[in-house]
Structure 1
């Protein structure tokens, strides 16, 4: 990888990804309690002393039983199965090119395990187009092996996307030392690779899905190349036995040197065969990708196990790309696509950016200039993923519910009421989000019958969590918003609940339900429209599916302006259920460590299906203040202060079910 990209990663990540958090502002005693995402060197540590806020650790000496932060870092959401509905447009393919996304969510060190008190975060929402997420990062001064933090894994798994940790052996120019490569591939007395076993153990304990191996430290020889090949083979064998994956980056060659090929060829073929797939360096050409695809098939592998790298870190959708070399229009796609650093959609915005600014940019990147996957803009030089790759969905079981929580917000809402006015981010609290952001169909089905209102996540108000979906603009024709592609069985008691509110104008609302697929890619699902009462305050309407049987394939809403003028309408929640289900309560809530106003809490998980847990502080006047939520069974809160006259703080924990029903609370007090 070239110096510009690496310089940005090492020098700017800490400054741009996580603005001053509670951890960086807290005293030293609190820093000892604040858990962070884990990172290691393979074995030997650098000379000297680590910088402020950095902890040097050896992976070889790691053991799950000795990991004090494991409860905060272990993901809990299983990888969900996905299905592919009829594509949103005629050019989006299924079963061909896939997308790997290499993202730096935060700095290597001081990356909080469970979110932070800022809404300024890469709260990715377009999981439907991604097949593999790489938790990118690492540096010679902090650590080279990164385990993704739990909220990212939980969000990705909820959308059916596996997540890989990163093994980064940096170029010598950026502090790389060949001894770290030798440490990684060392053998024990039995001829095994102990660090391969350790990597697999970390992924199993932390709940993620494997490793991206990027060996870029030059100076090696054929013996080191052979050792690396043996290491990757053993890593894949051990990983496969635990349901994990290994991706190899096109850097080190079989002779031990670092020479980026931009192709699958004799210099790296053995590594590709040893791994599950390979990221092809950015040096590719149309001919080298064509030959690479052919080579993969000659090896009995799929050409789509090759990710053709596209570097968008510096210019995002302004990047000039030979798209026809990867995902040509009108013929079979050549390879898969590897997007390097798409968090550009957040980072290129000014420091005053809002969550709405980020999601608008992310929509432009993933859906295209039209902002509608069903109507791509053929004049757009950026071939957005939605143009070429069919979206996927994990909405397959009842009960299903979403409050359109993106995993960050300016406040926290519960039933339309603010229960915390602090900004926050925690991707583990993200809902299963709509796979097509945003398909809007006006009368006639192709958008030709009326003006298109703006649609997007909005953070000025919400029913629950931090966001709602806002439809804003003129409705000069009946307008259908596709919300979810689903495979939900309809029973005799199945109902759909729609929580909504009209902020401006007058609008008639109908629930759109389709029990079959559209006749062709890009066409409207065969919706049946069921009336919903119009309201000016948050209200949940319960709609019976009278006369409908089989399976729900799509859910949407149809909005018709009752009067002239613009309309502002919010969708705060949707649920499909047969019965109301309330989870059991967790037990054993306890404070496991304390330093002033900084606490670690832990509890025993509630039995049965639980979406996440929420933690509130009960104030002396009896009101509850939201402190945070998590999918784990441990949580850190920092910076608490006694209320006036308060001798002990009281905390309540609740389990939250799939339908957002909450259990009875379990409580604990902490004496100041």
Structure 2
């Protein structure tokens, strides 16, 4: 594989987020920005690293001496998910799956906990993805890249495992065969120490395994045998920890690099040792058929083969032989390996990468030109994932809540008020988002539906419905499996910006579309309406809203939804402290309280008593940069809160830090 390795620039410094208990003296340790970890296997390049790059070897890594572990360790467990009835007749469950290889930033420049820009690949269409690869690695930075915590937390919330990347680059990209030999080295007992180290990293950081891509040429049969032995040990150790291993079709059993574009005798032993294999872009219709047949002869599924689809340069304009992978009129031949779908962000001009423009492009990529997965556009040459693959959902237990936070925004809102006017991104704060966007059922004209960043109830975004609404219109919001108890209620937080509209909660407990409609109060300001599920029993299968215009074109916002039995408030964290300080740069840490905590929020309390949002994180540590004293302020005061699944907050714990 020799596609362009595009540099993704991350604008601005990292977003500030932090907590504290009481006045502390500034620690002597310097506060530095934490980044996602990256390594060479063992030996380092000659010369000196470039600015902002740290060279280090994985062989010497230890969890107990990792200074950034608290910032990089994910906290959200991998959620189980279910497959509802597909949104359209061509989307199939249990056949082709999707692997997504994404570069969120340069290898050495992936902030551990977000950054101060909304210009970010804020992936939201998790419902179609079965495996995310945190793509990266380069000869000048490091070859092994561990995913950062926000991406793992967001993916896990949607039931998607995340793999780190082991990239041994082609010689043309600076690859050196000694790095391959470093990776597969053996100790005196004949074991592969770096296989164990990779599994230790994934366990400590909380992600789900490794994507191994050995593309450095010049090897021989002895090196091929060592790589196969390494992969067998890696797979055995990974499986014992519930981790996954994916092999990339590059190195052959002979130790040479020869991309096969198929499962055959040259790479079958590696496929046998892995959970699945990415089939290089050189595949053909016939090679995929033969590959699928060979996999099944091995007792494996043909859908454990990801047929590579390179969309880095052209996105939905890419020429893809879709019928060779996911034919419409017969069983799927293989699964889909999407290489670099962050094209949906990267192709936009740098000055036009606002969240709204990005999500419009991303929806077009994943849903198709119709922007409604229940009504695919049959004339669209781009066969969007929603056309072929059934969506999945993790919304299966009460309490459940969402404020439709996509993980980035132009400002931060709390209870409808702006508490920070700074742009930001942090995928760990992303909600479990609607899986099929957007299914709209109406006999009239379809309104525009999508995430909007001009206003929100909490976080950075809300759902905006805008149009004539010349007939009653149902907007499907969530596919669920939520049990109904005697005290179960649904809360909607919403606002009518233009026109007048009658609002009803749409609840389906049986067949798709078989809704019961329950009235909801309406008004011109943000309001939270509580709806009792009177007369309903069993399980909620689908939640939506029915809107009926009573005056003119309608602009209506949905800022939040919650399904609950009782209101629960989390317990406050403890031990809020500064662990390192350099002027206005601080590293903060705390001890989470027991019980359900979705994330933590950090505010700065200004001398006049107002609170300014600095950030939020699912971790127990955060870095804040560039703080300055207010006029006459001798110490900065911070407040830290735990936030529960229903977005209820704990009592704050405070900390002051002298300037």
What residue in structure 2 maps to residue 578 of structure 1?
565
- SS of 2:350's partner is coil
Structure 1 unaligned runs (5+)?
24-28, 443-448, 519-524
> What do residues 456-498 of structure 1 show as CA deviations (whole Å, max 9, x unaligned)?
1000000000000001111111110000000000000000000
What residue in structure 2 maps to residue 52 of structure 1?
51
What residue in structure 2 maps to residue 542 of structure 1?
530
What residue in structure 1 maps to residue 501 of structure 2?
507
In the alignment, is the contact (CA less than 8 A) between 1:512 and 1:555 conserved in 2? Answer: yes
> What do residues 175-203 of structure 1 show as CA deviations (whole Å, max 9, x unaligned)?
00000000000000000000000000000
Matched, 1:497 2:491: yes
In the alignment, is the contact (CA less than 8 A) between 1:22 and 1:639 conserved in 2? Answer: no
Q: 1-side partners of 2:281 and 2:300: how far apart?
A: 21
How does the TM-score come out when normalised to structure 1?
0.95
> What do residues 289-341 of structure 1 show as CA deviations (whole Å, max 9, x unaligned)?
00000000000100000000000000000011110100000210000000000
Q: 1:655 aligns with which of 635, 642, 651?
A: 642
In the alignment, is the contact (CA less than 8 A) between 2:639 and 2:654 conserved in 1? Answer: yes
In the alignment, is the contact (CA less than 8 A) between 1:85 and 1:517 conserved in 2? Answer: no
In the alignment, is the contact (CA less than 8 A) between 2:29 and 2:580 conserved in 1? Answer: no
In the alignment, is the contact (CA less than 8 A) between 2:31 and 2:587 conserved in 1? Answer: no
What residue in structure 2 maps to residue 608 of structure 1?
595
What residue in structure 1 maps to residue 366 of structure 2?
366
What residue in structure 2 maps to residue 635 of structure 1?
622
Q: 1-side partners of 2:346 and 2:437: how far apart?
A: 21
> What do residues 546-583 of structure 1 show as CA deviations (whole Å, max 9, x unaligned)?
0000000000000111023x211000000000000100
In the alignment, is the contact (CA less than 8 A) between 1:400 and 1:658 conserved in 2? Answer: yes
Report the CA distance between 1:534 and its aligned residue: 1.3
What residue in structure 1 maps to residue 129 of structure 2?
130
Q: 1-side partners of 2:98 and 2:615: how far apart?
A: 32
Report the CA distance between 1:30 and its aligned residue: 11
In the superposition, relative to structure 1, how do residues 622 and 32 fare at CA in structure 2: closer, same or farther (>3 Å)? closer
Report the CA distance between 1:31 and its aligned residue: 8.8
What residue in structure 1 maps to residue 384 of structure 2?
384
Q: 2-side partners of 1:277 and 1:324: how far apart?
A: 21
What residue in structure 2 maps to residue 625 of structure 1?
612
What residue in structure 2 maps to residue 552 of structure 1?
540
- SS of 1:181's partner is helix
In the alignment, is the contact (CA less than 8 A) between 1:80 and 1:159 conserved in 2? Answer: yes
Q: 2:519 aligns with which of 514, 531, 552?
A: 531
In the alignment, is the contact (CA less than 8 A) between 1:260 and 1:281 conserved in 2? Answer: yes
Q: 1-side partners of 2:375 and 2:188: how far apart?
A: 61
What residue in structure 2 maps to residue 143 of structure 1?
142
Instruction: Find runs of 4+ consecutive structure 1 residues off by over 3 angstroms.
Output: 29-32
- SS of 1:505's partner is strand
Q: 1-side partners of 2:573 and 2:30: how far apart?
A: 28
Structure 2 unaligned runs (5+)?
16-27
> What do residues 217-255 of structure 1 show as CA deviations (whole Å, max 9, x unaligned)?
000000000000000010000000000000000000000
In the alignment, is the contact (CA less than 8 A) between 1:17 and 1:105 conserved in 2? Answer: no
Matched, 1:453 2:447: yes
- SS of 2:463's partner is strand
Report the CA distance between 1:19 and its aligned residue: 1.8
In the superposition, relative to structure 1, how do residues 134 and 258 fare at CA in structure 2: closer, same or farther (>3 Å)? same
Report the CA distance between 1:606 and its aligned residue: 1.4
1:582-601 matched pairs, under 5 angstroms? 582-601=569-588
In the alignment, is the contact (CA less than 8 A) between 2:82 and 2:393 conserved in 1? Answer: yes
Q: 2-side partners of 1:465 and 1:20: how far apart?
A: 20
What residue in structure 1 maps to residue 262 of structure 2?
263
- SS of 2:600's partner is strand
Report the CA distance between 1:390 and its aligned residue: 0.3
In the alignment, is the contact (CA less than 8 A) between 2:29 and 2:579 conserved in 1? Answer: no
1:82-481 matched pairs, under 5 angstroms? 82-352=81-351, 353-442=353-442, 449-481=443-475
In the alignment, is the contact (CA less than 8 A) between 2:11 and 2:116 conserved in 1? Answer: no
In the superposition, relative to structure 1, how do residues 289 and 31 fare at CA in structure 2: closer, same or farther (>3 Å)? farther
In the superposition, relative to structure 1, how do residues 30 and 392 fare at CA in structure 2: closer, same or farther (>3 Å)? farther
What residue in structure 2 maps to residue 521 of structure 1?
none
Report the CA distance between 1:659 and its aligned residue: 0.3
Please report the RMSD computed on the Cα atoms of aligned residues, expressed in angstroms.
1.2
Q: 2-side partners of 1:652 and 1:597: how far apart?
A: 17
Q: 2-side partners of 1:411 and 1:334: how far apart?
A: 45
Report the CA distance between 1:354 and its aligned residue: 1.1
Q: 2-side partners of 1:168 and 1:669: how far apart?
A: 44
